Structure 1
């Protein structure tokens, strides 16, 4: 999938609890539709969970992609489900750190994908105390419905970062690739529910 930067989507996570704790199956509207607001706002998590035999359902969105393209080496064909009239594709499974993960807690995501950020693209990063870089993959309007791309360069002033963490924005002078096609992705969210991937 190319030219995804700035494209809107939404996700439904169906949560099941097993021996190893809660795990969510992630269904995504992209590229089938742009998460139409008139249907999205009517989704009821208890109803969705009951309809699909899940312990819980979580709504994740609306969100906007920040990479340039997404590669799925194994192909893009996957299971389709419809939630409240919104068609979605199964895209990943997530081992949740808890049923209600706190900001900056890491979850492992099995998505078998490669995210590509082209040279010249703006990127927004967290740097942890070990110097590892976490690149924002999507920004979210879940917490702040008015958040826009233009707000992201100044986001540091709004985040309550853990000790030793920093936030920065820059423009890439070379392509950046986050390849999690053969390993699980390490993903976290900030206070505003924006999502970041560990770059290596």
Structure 2
């Protein structure tokens, strides 16, 4: 089950959606494009569903490799009383700014084996999604209050599904390709 949970969680984390906006660059939010971060996602069983808490390092640190690489997800899951801990990263923001409100902005900050991260989202998944998986790039409902800002004139990377729905890339990850860089994104579809 561990591999299935990991794939489902990573697929969900990659496909989480928020509102994109054309707000002015002086909205007060820091520029994030190209900023490194990581996510730690404890997965808790709740009857016939799973509850996921998404913590990320935005605003705390840039996910230092020495600390990130030293985290043992199995030991951390045991410590947290979770079924599993999904390590999602390192990642880099592709949008320019995030404007968060409510619990997304004010989530609790925890330290995971020396890595500070703030809870930014929660979601629940039925057992069938964990057991049977979900299609890549499928939509999931997530609880958070977030506006994503992409500055005019900067690159935006899109993926179109078989039904013609267009999704905008929020982040890129070094999970599969440790050498992936922002400059590689324009040609990513050719890989």
Give TM-score scaled by structure 2 length: 0.76
- Specify the alignment match of 1:185 in structure 2: none
1:18 aligns with 2:46: yes
Q: Considering fraction of residues, name the structure with more helix.
A: 2
- Specify the alignment match of 1:143 in structure 2: 176
- Specify the alignment match of 1:67 in structure 2: 95
Q: Considering fraction of residues, name the structure with more strand.
A: 1
* Deviation at residue 101 of structure 1 after TM alignment: 5.3
1:116 aligns with 2:149: yes
Structure 1 runs (4+) greater than 4 angstroms displaced:
99-102
The answer to whether the 8 Å contact 1:13/1:60 transfers is yes
1:86 aligns with 2:115: yes
Which of 71, 75, 79 is the equivalent residue of 1:51?
79
Which whole-Å deviations, capped at 9, do the CAs of 1:128-175 have from their partners, x for residues lacking one?
A: 2332210000000011111011111111122xxxxxxxxxxxxxxxxx
* Structure 2: runs of 5+ lacking an equivalent: 1-28
* Deviation at residue 22 of structure 1 after TM alignment: 2.0
Distance in 2 (alpha carbons) for counterparts of 1:101 and 1:12: 20
- Say which structure, 1 or 2, has more relative contact order (CA 8 Å, 6+ apart): 2
Give TM-score scaled by structure 1 length: 0.73
Which of 163, 166, 171 is the equivalent residue of 1:130?
163
Classify 1:79/1:61 alpha carbon distance in 2 versus 1 (closer, same or farther; 3 Å): same
